[in-house]
Structure 1
Amino acid sequence: MGRIPTLTYDRGTLILHPPPRGKSWVDFAHWDDRIEKFRIPAQQYRPLVENLRAEQVNFNDEVQTFSALALDPQRTLEPYPHQQQALQAWIDQGHSGVVILPTASGKTYLAQLAMQATPRPTLITVPTLDLMHQWYAHLKTTFPDADVGLLGGGSKDRTAILVATYDSAAIHAEALGNQYALLICDECHHLPSDFNRVIAEYSIAPYRLGLTATPDRTDGRHADLTHLLGPVVYQRSAADLSGDALAPFQIVPIKVKLSQSERDRYEQLMAQRNRFLQAANIWLSSAQGWQQFVRASAQSQPGRRAMLAHREAKAIALGTEGKLKVLADLLGQHYPDRTLIFTNDNTAVYQISETFLIPAITHQTPVKERHAILQRFRSGDYPTLVVSHVLNEGVDVPEARVAILLSGSGSIREYVQRLGRILRKGSGNKQAILYEVVSEATSEEAISSRRHRGLQSSPERPRQLNLIPVKPVYTSDPPVVVPRAAEAPPSNDELPY
């Protein structure tokens, strides 16, 4: 009688030796001449084991060492219907898959419910140190008796529940790979990059949850999330949840005319750019148009001048003086409502800060100073903040009611994240408002339209954005929000891993 096949873990891969009978494992394996044994990607652990069990192959599993955890939450909330539905959809998919929900809709609490439904050692990956510490604080408060640790920012814990930055988790992916049964990737659109994807590929985790507001990546690699974490199992937009889990909101576009001198210069610059693009047969509306323009700008003086013209024209559209007049009017009408002002560049942030005496936060703001500013914004000492990109992701921003978008990119993710900063329900019948100040008859109009298309409702529940194409009426009463009852979370059935 031959030896019983043994499955072991080796630096992000599995070794199966000696080869078992049957065919269930063959499609997963490749022969490694260096060790004269079959290797299998660690990510294939669950389907491999399930196939071996289905063929009733007798084998020793020396890969996974985890066992059930005792998770006794000290803080419980009644889940919103969308959280309950998302959890059930994830469970029905075999405790794996991606959930797409807008900012401020309770993705962290959904992850907590997933942990309670799958009480096993858990690795949670996040993009920033701020977000890592927010997760840690939430888990320590919720599960005070659990062994929760950190990986990143100088911490190198090895605990049953580990919160890590993507960078640190990727660096230690080989060592972490067989330690955790549940892998939760927050802001999971970061996962498919060349550097980060090893977190999932080197992991045997049979249970996987991805969370994001906008999964799309410009490189198209968001499609890899299905391979790395599982398919999209649930999706809702901000419009879907408005007035339920999120505050009801309005998006108010305000068009600003360029001054005559700005208009003349803008048209001159755009004509210069377009002449070059036409001569070079480059179409910016095509999939590769922008990359072609960038390459062309580095290869000739006319290309360089065309790119400089493009940038100057964009700066005129984004920073017209008319926007500051609109800003002054909006701040006066909404004082002392807690208000966030977003711009696309640091220069505009500091200009607004100096002109209106408003605290500013950019990537140059020291961490301690940023925390102090946010705390005074939370307390109401500072009713208004002006920021660039630094608050887009991974920072716990206090509740606000008004957002003023003076300039932004065409990124749908950035738009959703900025809108999400004012969607926490808070107390009372809060009506959130996002003002989108756009320069008329410029490229900003097309960018704004692209952002709105990306914010439309999920296909399962088509719903119109609350988009008001006129100047707002400030005296209208906000709609009354009636919360809906949620079903109780599912019971924890016995899990096979």
Structure 2
Amino acid sequence: MTAGDSPGFPALDIPRVIDTSNTDFINDFYIPLLSRSVEYKRGVGYFTSNWAQSAARGLTQLAKNGGTAKWLTSPHLSEEDWEAIVEGEQAKQDERLRQALERSIEDLHNDLEEDTREAIAWMIADGLLEIRLAIPQNSLSGDFHDKFGVFYDQDRNRVAFHGSKNDSEQALRNYEAYTIDCDWLSKRDQEGVDYHEKRFDALWENQDDNVAVYTIPESIKEELADLREYDSPPYDFDEEEESGITLRDYQDKAVKSWFQNACNGLFEMATGTGKTITALSALEQYLEEQDEPVITVIAVPVTHLAPQWAESMELFDFDNPRMIFGSMNPDWKSDLSKLVSNVNLGVRDQAFVITTHKTLSNSYFREKLDSATCKTLLIGDEVHRLGSDDQRKGLLASYDARIGLSATPERHYDEEGTTYLLEYFNGVIFKYTLADAIPDYLTPYDYHPIIVEMTQEELEEYQQLTKKVAAASASEDAPDEVVERLAMKRSKLVKSAENKYQALHDILDEIGDVDHFLAYTNPQQIDQVQEVLNEHGIIQHKFTYEEDDEERQRLLELFDKGDYDALVAMRCLDEGVDVPSTRQAVLMSNSGNPMQFVQRRGRLLRQYPGKDKAVIYDMIVVPSLHPPDDVQESEKNLLRKELDRFEEFADNARNEHQARNGIERLRTVYEI
């Protein structure tokens, strides 16, 4: 489809039938139609927020048009998607929650891409989106499984479609098809649109005897949501920047190791030690040795890392890297095709592509890179992310040279994915650990584990969830997703333990005058943490995914100068934003995933003028400070998980013995 001069649907070239084998449903169907719509009605058997993330540009324009959307779906949702829907619905009645969700239309595109569920909650709260759940009844049984929709433009032209595709990321990978009716083309098309419109409206108003339709408040009351599906949170990891191109000794060793390993290998280097510069130096030497054209592909886990890589590439005079992914380049397919053709034809002797992990695994991207007749080189940033079933599709056998970068290349609880990465990149060829880097290249640190006891209510809920996890694990009928959902709920309970706030008060009392203080929180904690800091008279500002790059830079500059005593951060240490001037940090929300807490610590240890050490306060949750003699094994396991992080942090701390003494009593009473 190509847009004409008119903003309405008739300007589009809309085929009668489309399928996923020949059409990019997001870029060639949804986005052009949503961008011209003022109303969108959608009935779908299965919905996940990943679809909204993919269609972000179209949904943003729909909102700018003053448009609204109605989604009718089955109750099969991931827990996180359901929580976002409920939060948005509750915010309609709760002004404080409404203000917390408040966005501008200008921010919606970014929010849909980077924090999709929160953006969906906001759209619901602001009346841009309404969702209802459909459940067959009476003469029908099973699920609401239809897939159809109607678009309306400003002139009330209508486009209806009907087919097999759900609104989910998985459906975008399936072979699916739509039949499309445009009401201005013919009487037959008009009748088709009328039919779909009437049946949607009847369903929406609960006028079909065989389908019960519930609003979200009704669904909450009746507990209708069937939280079967489990979506892993998109943990985002980032890479550091460097200020020059003179290699340190260890970086030079890494590059030499790569050439000795036939230009393949993983660099396992601590966060903050210059993986980007090391990789680009290896690339520079590789290109100097080639007599034939080369296409270099750099794959990053999140979009905002692409400009950072482009800036680092300027230091090496790597000209004009092409951004080949949708959110930054809607014409990426055409650009990639031209780029490969130009190199194949000898018009260019080298080309640089910066893409995302997701686009790297896209079938079109893979096809074009496979068609290159020249040499190709792949640099995988935060390579552990490329080991998942979906992302590893982008690891083509045709790449002649390969560099993988990560502080933690092992995939947590995924031995198969880890093995795949090690085999594809031909092993870890160079290691440079945190202990190696301190104090020459990273700042020494003191580590203080802060013991936080669960409340009685939290402990009882934790025990109940543990019983449910055990029962579901033992049941042959319970899907793995149910076990994972229950485990995630239990983990969330630990992360947001109530007594952490009193512990924060105690830490601040002990510190007295805070000095470039950072509090690392989660969405459930951030407001209360800010209130605690305010009570102590600490001048602070939140520092989260909501702030754009320009605002983050401004906050960092004010924080560096001392205009802000503290920053309250959420996700930024996982997303590639470094806060090098931090001298004191409290980790209030921690994951059991080593990739996360290793990354977070590394970012706190960046060197900075006048910074001779960092002090890290780490909240360790325990079921009870005075456990009974018959302490449950599940409670021991909780403490074991917390102590895994303790061991990692204590090993390289200046005050290692002091930190271990503070935790020894717990090991004794829990017999760990």
Q: Which has the higher contact order (CA 8 A, sep 6+)?
A: 1
Secondary structure class of the residue paired with 1:181: strand
Residue of 273, 276, 288 corresponding to 1:108: 276
Q: Which amino acid is the alignment partner of residue 524 of structure 2?
A: T
Amino acid at match of 1:405: L
The one-letter code sitting in structure 1 at the alignment partner of 2:571 is: H
Hey, what's the Cα distance between the residues in 1 that align with 2:488 and 2:355? 40
> CA distance change for structure 1 residues 233 and 325 in 2, over 3 Å: closer, same or farther?
same
TM-score, structure 2 as length reference: 0.49
Of 303, 307, 324 in structure 1, the residue corresponding to residue 504 of structure 2 is 324
Q: Residues 400-441 of structure 1, C-alpha deviation per residue, up to 9 Å, x if partnerless?
A: 232211221111111111101122222346212222122344
Structure 1 partner of 2:258: 90
Distance in 2 (alpha carbons) for counterparts of 1:170 and 1:279: 37
- Alpha-carbon separation, structure 2, partners of 1:214 and 1:181: 25
The correspondence of residues 48-87 of structure 1 with structure 2, limited to 5 A, is 76-87=244-255
Change (3 A) 1:326 1:154: same
* Map of 2:519 onto structure 1: 341
Residue 311 (structure 2) pairs with residue 143 (structure 1) = no
**Is the Cα–Cα contact under 8 Å of residues 339 and 385 in structure 1 kept in the other structure?**
yes
Corresponding position of 2:79: none
Letter in 2 for 1:254: I
The whole-number CA distance in structure 1 between the counterparts of 2:299 and 2:410 is: 18
Query: Match of 2:367?
Result: 174
AA of the residue aligned to 1:233: I
CA contact (8 A) 1:131 1:395 kept: no
SS in 1 for 2:531: helix
1:255 deviation in Å?
Answer: 2.1
The answer to whether the 8 Å contact 1:128/1:165 transfers is yes
Return the letter of the residue paired with 2:440: D
| Structure 1 residue 114, shift from structure 2 partner | 0.7
Q: Which of 615, 640, 647 is residue 433 of structure 1 equivalent to?
A: 615
The superposition leaves residues 354-382 of structure 1 with CA deviations (integer Å, 9 ceiling, x where unpaired) of 33243123344556544543443345433
Q: Distance in 2 between matches of 1:403 and 1:291?
A: 40
Partners of 1:195 and 1:276 in 2: CA distance: 30
Unaligned runs of 5+ in 1: 1-74, 299-303, 457-462, 473-497
Deviations 1:184-233 (A, max 9, x none): 111011112233223222x5221110000111223331211123222111
Q: Which has the higher helix share?
A: 2
**Contact conserved, 1:101 with 1:235, CA < 8 A, in 2?**
yes
Contact 1:186 1:210 in 2 (8 A): yes
How many Å apart are 1:449 and its aligned residue?
1.4
CA displacement at 1:88 relative to structure 2: 1.9
Report the Cα distance in structure 2 between the residues aligned to 1:291 and 1:338, rounded to whole angstroms.
Answer: 47
Distance 1:225 1:403 in 2: 33
The secondary structure found in structure 1 opposite 2:298 is strand
Q: How many residues align?
A: 370
Distance in 2, Cα, partners of 1:446 & 1:107 = 32
SS at match of 1:439: strand
Retained in 2: the 8 A contact 1:97–1:208?
Answer: yes
- Following the alignment from structure 2 to structure 1, what is the Cα–Cα distance between the partners of residues 659 and 388? 42
**Structure 1 residues 183 and 326 mapped into 2: Cα distance closer, same or farther (>3 Å)?**
same
Equivalent residues of 1:125, 1:185 under 8 A apart: yes
CA-to-aligned-CA distance 1:278-313 (integer Å, 9 cap, x gap): 667769xxxx9x986x63698xxxxx8x997x4685
The question of 1:352 aligning with 2:529 is answered yes
Look up the match of 1:415.
597
Identity of paired residues, percent?
Answer: 27
Secondary structure at 2:276 match in 1: helix
The 3 A distance-change label for structure 1 pair 370 and 291 is farther
Q: 1:447 aligns with which of 641, 644, 649?
A: 641
SS of the counterpart of 1:410? coil
Partner of 1:160, secondary structure, is strand
Aligned to 1:246: 442
Once the two structures are TM-superposed, the CA of residue 240 in structure 1 deviates from its matched residue by: 2.6
Cα distance change of structure 1 residues 281 and 138 upon mapping to structure 2, 3 Å threshold: closer
Q: Which position in structure 2 is the counterpart of 1:314?
A: 494
SS of 2:615's partner is strand
- 1:127 aligned partner: 301
Deviations 1:143-180 (A, max 9, x none): 34634232233233547122222222332122134365
Q: How does 1:296-315 map to 2 (within 5 A)?
A: 310=490, 314=494
Structure 1 residue 325: Cα displacement: 1.4
Q: What is the letter of the counterpart of residue 505 of structure 2?
A: K
**TM-score computed with the length of structure 1 as normaliser:** 0.65
Q: 1:431 to 1:227 in 2, by over 3 A?
A: same
1:77/1:278 CA distance change after superposition, 3 Å: closer
* From 99, 115, 134, the counterpart of 2:267: 99
The answer as to 2:561 corresponding to 1:384 is: no
**Structure 2 unaligned blocks of 5 or more:** 1-242, 288-293, 340-349, 535-539, 625-634, 661-672
Deviation at 1:94, TM superposition (A): 1.1
Task: Supply the distance in 2 between the matched residues of 1:340 and 1:437 (Cα, whole angstroms).
Answer: 14
Give the Cα separation in 2 of the matches to 1:370 and 1:307: 30
Match in the other structure for 1:401: 583
The structure 2 residue matched to 1:198, chosen from 393, 397, 416, is 393
User: What is the CA-CA distance between 1:117 and the residue it aligns to?
Assistant: 1.9
Q: Which amino acid aligns with 2:424?
A: L
The one-letter code sitting in structure 1 at the alignment partner of 2:380 is C
